[in-house]
A and B are shown apart, each in its own frame.
Chain A
């Protein structure tokens, strides 16, 4: 990733700040970035470690995120993954999830801008579940599991920071929901092999692997 330094020299590609937790978080809050929780400072060094798990051109968009239709480049996604607290090995799943939910049939615009409290739910299955220790059992929706918590949070930060789903501007949800902080689980394939996601059509796969990801929009059913 030797050209990362060059990309960061581009206008507005990076900001100068001390690598100080409080200073960076004050800056993030002032700019209106993030989900309201403190973030891990996305320094160039941390972003570079994240991008070590990316085999694509770091500055070419892999998707456009509604409603702003901001370009989700690996570089931008990596910054959000760092802020969310992801381990670098989680990064391919973040890219996969964002690609899945930006496919036109999913209608991310509708999910993001609606007054409803729905949020995209990402379910993964395959060997990656064990490899990354993604919870598919007790408390799968949290709290207490790093992969579930941080990948889900990175997705939300992407929807906010790149997609522009800001409360009252791009996200018109009347009440919001806890699922808008993090909504990422693994399928318990061993318990339900006959209905595994991998046997269905709506999925994305990491090239060369048996990992799949499905995005669904979940909210509480209307009564």
Chain B
């Protein structure tokens, strides 16, 4: 993901709450400290289909905004 970001593509990593700190740290390690992180609630495993859809409803607006901001 960091390589895509470095090439100028609109890029984001979808991350659940407890992993935000790790995500930010890793973004710095890989030289893309401004890599957008799309935050969703934890956990991801063991979810029902409805709960998965709930996660996507939280992630999708963030991704769309990211795209829109980059198009402007």
B1-48 CB contacts (< 8 Å) to partner A: 18-19, 21-22, 25-26, 29
A144-198 CB contacts (< 8 Å) to partner B: 164, 168-170, 172
Measured CB to CB, the closest approach of chain B to A32, in angstroms, equals 14
- A67 close to B21 (CB less than 8 A): no
Determine the distance from Cα of A3 to Cα of B26 in the docked complex, in whole angstroms. 34
A64-86 CB contacts (< 8 Å) to partner B: 67-69
Determine the distance from Cα of A172 to Cα of B17 in the docked complex, in whole angstroms. 12
- B22 close to A113 (CB less than 8 A): yes
Determine the distance from Cα of A67 to Cα of B29 in the docked complex, in whole angstroms. 8
Q: Please name all residues of chain A whose beta carbon is closer than 8 Å to the beta carbon of B21 when the two chains form the complex.
A: 168-169
- A172 close to B18 (CB less than 8 A): yes
- B19 close to A68 (CB less than 8 A): no
Determine the distance from Cα of A68 to Cα of B26 in the docked complex, in whole angstroms. 7
Measured CB to CB, the closest approach of chain B to A140, in angstroms, equals 33
Q: Please name all residues of chain B whose beta carbon is closer than 8 Å to the beta carbon of A69 when the two chains form the complex.
A: 29
Determine the distance from Cα of A172 to Cα of B29 in the docked complex, in whole angstroms. 17
A contact residues vs B (CB 8 Å cutoff): 67-69, 113, 164, 168-170, 172
B contact residues vs A (CB 8 Å cutoff): 18-19, 21-22, 25-26, 29
- If A168-B18, A169-B25, A172-B22 are given as contacts, then 5 extra A-B residue pairs at C-beta distance below 8 Å, sorted by A number, are A67-B25, A67-B26, A67-B29, A164-B25, A168-B21
User: Could you name 14 residue pairs across A and B whose Cβ atoms are closer than 8 Å?
Assistant: A67-B25, A67-B26, A67-B29, A68-B25, A113-B22, A164-B25, A168-B21, A169-B21, A169-B22, A169-B25, A170-B22, A170-B25, A172-B18, A172-B19
